[in-house]
């Protein structure tokens, strides 16, 4: 940096040094703030063993400090940017590994597990999802409102975060996939938890298949799912190990099950049902779509903590890592209650979009089918 300063005229040297000094001081304040947040979080984790309720002393009650010091002039800012670019060329950093996309998930699934998901129409995927959700005790309002927020109300079954579901343009920004935007680590966790049940259900579907082609299709699917389950269970069953494994090619391949017309709606509905069951065990019932989404976004335990009387009034940095807080623009500068209000605003807007309207209609259709007594597995058209 000193070599850069030496290239500047005296006035700009003073300007730059004043700016850099202020920025360094701000970074130290930020570091101290996030260290305090982390310390409080560790304290709550320890306290959680003896109580699920927290008081004011368990939280940081301010938001991260914002930079209020001097800014570089336009000319000096350009010089500084050119200098940084030249330094990067001298010592190029390793380019970040690109985020995997649908093509990666599909290719890995075929390579490692011989799995090719059976793709179905968007309308039929929503219908099957609605049937699964209702059978698991999820309400149309819960599911459609989560969908409306996670996808903006127009998401498709193969929607990945960062990709426009209509134009298919963009770059993946995470592995989040589908109506509730499951991460690939979520998929691995659900397979470990419910995989044996998935296999039994597919076996029942094969036994009642209407023709040989359908039975053979389900047989191939069963073989692939067995291989996935065996691989998934070879990894220690905890979130952090699932996250690490999800970044491998074999982990990518498991994520493709979300696209399958037989497995995807079922797996994703079970993920939401798992949040509801977790909340019930902690004494929270009748969750709204907003509350279910809070658990989906921040994690089950953290989401419930944010719903407590004290937690609702606390700044959201208390509940997110430093990086996650700044990446998720929706949470910045809000308390938990304000975040829930933002969910409501976005959900209200999203539920008016065509995709959400179609999803709500799917629930109405399935509910009508159920009233006619056609809910038995062998009579549903995808069995």
pLDDT of residue 90: 79
pLDDT of residue 366: 92
pLDDT of residue 379: 40
3-state secondary structure the chain: CHHHHHCCCHHHHHHHHHHHHHHHHHHHHHHHHHHHHHHHHHHHHHHCCCCCCCCHHHCCCCCCCCCCCCCCCHHHHHHHHHHHHHHHHHCCCCCCCCCCCHHHHHHHHHHHHCCCCCCCCHHHHHHHHHHHHHHCCCCHHHHHHHHHHHHCCCCCCCCECCECCCCCCECCCCCCECCCCECHHHHHHHHHHHHHHHHHHHHHHHHCCCCHHHHHHHHHHHHHHHHHHHHHCCCCCCHHHHHHHHCCHHHHHHHHHHHCCCCHHHHHHHHHHHHHHHHHHCCCCCCCHHHHHHHHHHCHHHHHHHHCHHHHCCEHHHHCCHHHHHHCHHHCCCEHHHHHHHHHHHHHHHCCCHHHHHHHHHHHHHHHHHHCCCCCHHHCCCC
pLDDT of residue 369: 57
pLDDT tens for the chain, residues 1 to 383: 788 999 999 999 999 999 999 999 999 999 999 999 999 999 998 888 787 689 999 999 999 999 999 999 999 999 999 998 888 887 777 777 789 999 999 999 999 999 999 999 999 999 999 999 999 999 999 999 999 999 999 999 999 999 999 899 999 999 999 999 999 999 999 999 999 999 999 999 999 999 999 999 999 999 999 999 999 999 999 999 999 999 999 999 999 999 999 999 999 999 999 999 999 999 998 999 999 999 999 999 999 999 999 999 999 999 999 999 998 899 999 999 999 999 999 999 999 999 999 999 999 999 885 544 333 333 433 33
pTM: 0.87
pLDDT of residue 373: 39
């Amino acid at each position: 940096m000193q070599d850069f300063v030496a290239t500047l005229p005296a006035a700009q040297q003073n300007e730059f040094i004043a700016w850099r000094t202020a920025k360094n001081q701000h970074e130290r304040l930020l570091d101290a703030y996030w260290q305090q947040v982390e310390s409080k979080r560790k304290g709550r984790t320890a306290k959680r063993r003896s109580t699920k309720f927290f008081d004011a002393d368990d939280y940081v009650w301010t938001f991260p400090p914002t930079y209020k010091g001097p800014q570089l002039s336009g000319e000096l800012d350009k010089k500084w940017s050119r200098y940084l670019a030249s330094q990067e060329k001298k010592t190029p950093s390793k380019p970040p590994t690109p985020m995997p996309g649908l093509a990666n998930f599909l290719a890995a699934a075929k390579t490692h597990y011989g799995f090719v998901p059976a793709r179905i129409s968007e309308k039929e995927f929503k219908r099957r999802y609605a049937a699964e959700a209702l059978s698991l005790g999820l309400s149309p309002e819960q599911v459609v409102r989560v969908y409306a927020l996670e996808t903006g109300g127009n998401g498709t079954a193969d929607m990945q975060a960062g990709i426009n579901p209509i134009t298919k343009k963009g770059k993946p920004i995470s592995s989040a996939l589908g109506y509730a935007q499951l991460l690939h680590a979520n998929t691995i966790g659900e397979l470990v938890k419910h995989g044996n049940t998935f296999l039994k259900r597919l076996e029942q579907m094969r036994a009642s298949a209407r023709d040989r082609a359908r039975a053979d299709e389900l047989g191939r699917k069963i073989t692939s799912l067995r291989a996935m389950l065996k691989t998934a269970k070879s990894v220690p069953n905890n979130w952090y190990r699932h996250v690490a494994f999800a970044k491998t090619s074999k982990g990518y391949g498991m994520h493709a099950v979300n696209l399958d017309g037989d497995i995807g709606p079922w797996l994703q509905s079970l993920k939401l049902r798992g949040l509801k069951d977790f909340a019930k065990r902690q004494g929270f019932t009748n969750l709204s779509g907003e509350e279910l989404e809070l658990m989906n976004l921040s994690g089950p335990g953290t989401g419930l903590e944010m719903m407590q009387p004290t937690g609702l009034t606390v700044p959201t940095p208390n509940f997110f890592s430093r990086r996650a807080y700044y990446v998720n623009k929706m949470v910045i500068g809000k308390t938990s209650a304000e975040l829930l209000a933002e969910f409501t605003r976005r959900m209200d807007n999203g539920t008016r979009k065509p995709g959400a309207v179609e999803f709500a209609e799917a629930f109405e259709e399935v509910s009508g089918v159920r009233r006619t007594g056609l809910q038995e597995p062998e009579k549903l058209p995808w069995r």
